[in-house]
């Protein structure tokens, strides 16, 4: 499954909303979420803070890695 995700707020609110967003996901298959932040309100330090708040099962990757992983999963389906 892939979905777009762009909640309002700062790092803690973003994390909390993301956790609620994946409720019910059983972890049996990968879940890809293309998360976005408001570039007008977020600085690199905010992204770093969010990264520190996210633990398992989340993994932050660059866009090219995101689509490479997604392609790998889609080939095996």
Domain ranges of the chain: 2-76
pLDDT band with cut points at 50, 70 and 90 for residue 6? confident
pLDDT range class, residue 13, cuts 50, 70, 90: very high
> Which of these, 62, 60, 54, lies nearest to 14 by C-alpha position?
54
**Average pLDDT of span 1-25:** 84
How confident is the model over 25-77, as pLDDT tens digits? 999 988 898 888 888 889 999 999 999 999 989 999 998 999 999 999 999 86
Q: What is the largest CA-CA distance in the chain?
A: 39
Give the model's pLDDT for residue 4. 63
Closest CA to 7 of 48, 50, 44: 50
- Sign, Cα dihedral of 41, 7, 48, 50: positive
Distances in Å between the alpha carbon of 41 and those of 9, 22, 37, 59, 75? 9, 25, 8, 23, 37
The pTM is what? Answer: 0.79
């Amino acid at each position: 499954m892939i979905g777009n995700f762009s909640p309002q707020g700062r790092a803690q609110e973003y994390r909390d909303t993301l956790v609620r967003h994946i409720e019910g996901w059983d972890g049996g298959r990968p879940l890809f979420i293309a998360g976005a932040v408001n570039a007008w309100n977020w600085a690199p330090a905010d992204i770093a803070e969010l990264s520190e708040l996210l633990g398992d099962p989340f993994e932050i990757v660059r866009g090219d890695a995101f689509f490479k992983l997604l392609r790998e999963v889609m080939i095996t389906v």
